[in-house]
Amino acid sequence: MSGVIKVGMADLNAIVSPGILTTLGLGSCVGIVFYDNKNKIGGMAHVMLPTSRIANGDKINEAKFADTAIEKLLELMISMGAKQTFITAKLAGGAQMFASRNGSNDVLKIGHKNVEQTLKILQEKNIKVVAQDTGSNYGRTIELYSESGLLLVKTIGHGVKEI
């Protein structure tokens, strides 16, 4: 299957080359991108919150939280033929979109917490982070090209970069 597959907020998907995965409007959310360069399989999750421990209720959206999204994305990619030993990660997003007056409001630091938790989980799973474009105070849109593993990061006012 080729073409462009959109990954929504609190969503994830994977693709076997050729094709593009994209997600729009990463603010404090983190775009977690996995790529198996041997099997040319890419995956993307648009994560809103760092941990599912804060969720209430029996049924949660696993793609919404860094801890469960990473696990689910790995399972999906492996079911498509990826090997965890070949998977590397790239991250984008995790911005602080709203300034706090006194600098101490933790609710406003959700972007930083998302990145921090994602990095911790990836380290525990021995998945190497090969590039990231995180933090600051602006949003991002990302596109993963499954043939090469290139991640295009687009911003308004801060240009476009390849990582």
pLDDT digits (tens, 9 = 90+) for 50-89: 999 887 777 899 999 999 999 999 999 999 999 999 999 9
Give the global pTM. 0.93
CA distances 78 to 14, 17, 35, 42, 45, Å, are: 10, 14, 11, 11, 15
CATH number at residue 74: 3.30.1330.200
**What is the residue whose two structure tokens read 């006194």?**
102
β-bridge partners, 6:
22
Kindly indicate the confidence band of residue 90, based on its pLDDT and cuts at 50, 70 and 90: very high
29 is catalytic: yes
Tell me the residue range of the domain where 20 lies: 4-162
Q: How many domains does the chain have?
A: 1
Active-site hit among 29, 33, 48, 151: 29
Straight-line distance from the first to the last Cα atom of the chain, in angstroms, rounded to the nearest whole number: 24
Task: Check pLDDT > 80 for residue 122.
Answer: yes
